[in-house]
Chains A and B, each alone.
Chain A
Amino acid sequence: MNLRRLSLLILILLTMTLAGPSQARAADAKSLSPNGVVDFASKLARDHRNLFSPEKRADLGALNRELRTAQQALRQARTDEARNAAVARGAAAAEQLLATVRACERIIRLDLTRPQPVLVQLKPYEVPGDTGVLLFEVVTGANELTYGTTNFDFEELPEFALPAPLVVSSNGTTYFLIGLEHVPAGRTSFLFEISQQPGQTPVRHLMELTTPVPGRLKLTVVADDTGKPVPAMVQLLWQVDGRVHQPGNGIEFAPQFESLGSPTGARKANLPGPLNEAFWCMPGPVDMPLSPGQWRIGARRGVEYEAVFEDITVRSGETVARELKPRRWVDMRKRGWWSGDDHVHCRILSDEDAQRLMAWVKAEDIHLANVVKMGDIYRTFFEQRGFGPAYRVVDGQFTLVPGQECPRTHEQIGHTLAMNITSMVRNPDRYFLYDEVFDAVHAQGGLSGYAHGNSGIFSVHRDMSLNVPRQKVDFIEILQFNELGTELYYDFLNLGCKLTASAGSDVPWGGTIGEVRAYAFLGKKSFTADAWFDAFRRGRTFTTSGPMLEFSVDQALPGDELKITSDRQLRIRARAWGDPKHMSPVKLEIMRHGNIIRSAESQDPKRPEVQLDFTVPAGHGCWIAARARAGDGTSAHTTPVYVVREGFRFWKLEGLDELIAKRLASLLEIEQLVTEARHPQKEVEFRGIVDQKQLVNQGGALLERVTQARKLYEELRETARKERAAGRAVDR
């Protein structure tokens, strides 16, 4: 630290020293009495409820809300009357809390008014496992009542070191909660100090803890249809500390995530309710020691299964054996639909890497995972052993297929994905010319698409404006992190551009593989990666994070082109349904050119299912899709059926000028990027140096593409003019 910074630090510390006491007084005037009661009640209600019986726990929750409400009222009080009312409300709750705490059977009483205060322990204090809590009543006099909380983490406590002293009232009674973490197994002695005032010589006490003999859990998750053990996402939640513990064979994916995203095997799905808490991938049965007490064990296997949870009691020295069977509420395979995740980041450099990832996709019931090597203009991440069929990993009806997420530019023109490639396509010297990558991917027989189309982040609209009308791109992610976003999607469909709806979890940034997924319709074909890609290439997909969809226009399925020669009635049939236990109600909407033309919502809470069957006139052509939203906040969306009338595009003529204007504005943004990069005075952050240098180098080629795209949009305008005229003639 240089001298200037040191001076600044001293100045601030000095100011703080002078200002400190008055701030403390001001804060006290807004705090409930006794001191620390709100924090104490909160910790007791949330973290240390196990000190009390179940009945008392509910009371503690109510007392916490009451104290918090009184605290808030006190802080906002503008009159003495309001202030007094808040204080009285808080005092009443505090009194109840005190009675509850005093009656706690596990309280440790320490009287410091005696000449030689000592903590007498007849036997070691038993904590329930590697976490626990000590509740102290420390008496130093008769004047005041205070509350305090702290934590001792034995993992952070060096050998022979003492925790910082507990500071208690100098003349009164202090109730203290000490949260204990990482308590060693067996018997543990440790010293701690109690001080009545900061700076005063503390009194030392010896505390002995012991942990109980553990029990054992033998847990197997079995398939609903075969009854055989299967990989599953498993949660072991110890009710005592409210935390999820790793199963003994729970897979730690951190090394394969290369410290990126959320680099841990504890996966919190972007899904509703308890699924949003951590689950571990458990590849098979486990037999492991567990601390005694109440546990909640849970297992889930992706969206087609209902997650199951069971509360168990583990007793010292005893074994609990459980078999969990997540119930399948739908089998989309039998309907010809097979699940995939287009966006999985995970290093695969060995068979062991592959086995671990395979266990995960099986646990989440994802039949095809596009495992993408990620790149940017600087480097690549998530290395793969190779690309193409030889490097696919196949295990029964599950396949890992190496793909790529590259090119990716964050501040410029967006992120792209490729599936089913035979080699990675990346050239930093041509990095901004995404069309070259799309062409190369297609030449390999692969599929090109855009990532994050649901949120539109990373300015993906810019490259979409360049390359979607040029038919360079096959798909776009419209569902990610359980967020369905269709603004960009609808804009391009309304321009008459075909795009297949897709979804990807984006782990390790996303929660878990398959939390959003794309289903491809294989019909009666057997599942293979090639069959899945063929179906996907035809656009026969829908995306979902929960509800399922079936949709047809006449006999056409999503992605199909329905050719018509004149205006006629089209029969639309759609069905949306969800897990009866969690997804009610389900709402189904039929979208035509981005507008809802028909919707229905399920009425029976036990049967979240709704169907529509109706006809609409084809007009001059259109796109029609179905989307669904379930009561738990999950959603689904199909790729459209493209109704193409002879002589017309399937676009939305009404409002076309505004749509084209948006695209032209996006092209202007690309031009500005190049202009700014070329500006000699442009100040560039260090991290942007290569981007800017390459933008200068590639700017000319990029601008050529902008010119081509502009021409295309002009042609579209001309086509629209002709279609309007033709439409009027046909209508007459």
Chain B
Amino acid sequence: MKEFKTLIFSRARSGAVCSILTLLAAGLLGPQLPTAAHGLLATYVQHGVRLKVGAEHIDLTLDLTFFEEPSARERTVMDADANGHITRSEVDAYLKKLAPEMLKQVKLSVAGHEVPLIPLYDPEIDLSSDQMIATAHHRLRLYFFAATPVGLGTDDEILIEDQLWPETKSLGTPQAEGSDGCTMLPEISIRSNAAAATVRESRRFKFRCVKPPIPKSAAAANAHSPRTLQPKPATP
């Protein structure tokens, strides 16, 4: 019988239990899993990078589609009780453990200056209707945002560096959109293999600001205190 478990922030310990159990399950059972079928892109993770730039915020959504093999590996980690069926609480525990690490592995730079990313929502997983340990795909979606730097101008480069699952081969698909009058373009890629990064190579997705957003109002800009592109003075 499956049981529902509540997820309340104060119950950090139960989160730790689940986290360690997931690691344990992965360590004990991972190597015993049958390898996935020889699917076409079976060993890859597709990194869909969606950037939305507006007057106040830059929203970044990372859509990671895990093809068969990496999906099977991650599903094994999710399936904390190793019963072959992944419950919602197992997924929640898996995400809670991963979220802080994933934040560290994604960087945003605007015109050469790093802009801190903040999680907008908790990450979510779509197991593609298949709750089992199986040779299927799953999708992990991460949401971040940052304050739009005041000095964002025409031809400024926005760079996303993504080091998620660095050991797993990846395919990158960048997309950009603007709001508040902003127009963004992903930089054209003429280098193959750059997107198919392999061992510990960070994925770098570049976007060019064709037209910067129009600030909604000076008051609004001040209220949100966005960072400027100027280097910050050294703090003690």
Contacts and interface: CB of A to CB of B under 8 A. Distances in A.
B189 A483 contact: yes
Contacts of A633: 174-176, 185-186
Nearest to B138: A262
Interface string B172-202: 1111110000011110111111111000000
Contacts of B168: none
Contacts of B128: 262-264
Interface in A461-503: 481-488, 490
A261 interface: yes
Contact of A151 (B3, B88, B136): B88
A148 B11 CA distance: 10
Interface in B50-71: 50, 57, 63, 65, 67-68
Contact of A455 (B11, B38, B196): B196
A27 B191 CA distance: 44
A31 B173 CA distance: 34
A46 B190 contact: no
Contacts of B186: 633
A164 B192 contact: no
Interface string B2-26: 1111111111110011001000100
Interface size for chain B: under 10, 10 to 19, 20 to 34, or 35 or more residues?
35 or more
Contacts of A69: 118
B75 interface: no
A676 interface: no
Contact of B28 (A5, A157, A486): A5
A270 B63 CA distance: 11
Contact of B210 (A20, A35, A408, A631): A631
Contacts, number: 212
Contacts of A273: 175, 177
B121 A149 contact: no
B9 A147 contact: yes
B231 interface: no
A633 B13 CA distance: 44
Contacts of B169: 457
A49 interface: no
A456 B196 contact: yes
B41 interface: yes
Contacts of A45: 121
B222 to A, nearest CB: 15
B160 to A, nearest CB: 13
Nearest to B176: A633
Contact of B177 (A483, A509, A632): A632
B4 A152 contact: yes
Given A148-B8, A167-B6, A631-B210, A161 B1 contact: yes
Contacts of B10: 24, 28, 35-36, 146
A28 B3 CA distance: 27
B94 interface: no
A453 to B, nearest CB: 7
Interface of B: 1-13, 16-17, 20, 24, 28, 35, 37-44, 46, 48, 50, 57, 63, 65, 67-68, 87-88, 116, 118-122, 128-129, 134-137, 145, 169, 171-177, 183-186, 188-196, 210
18 contacts: A35-B8, A65-B120, A69-B118, A148-B6, A149-B8, A163-B4, A166-B6, A263-B128, A276-B48, A276-B50, A454-B192, A455-B192, A456-B193, A457-B41, A487-B190, A587-B188, A594-B190, A687-B38
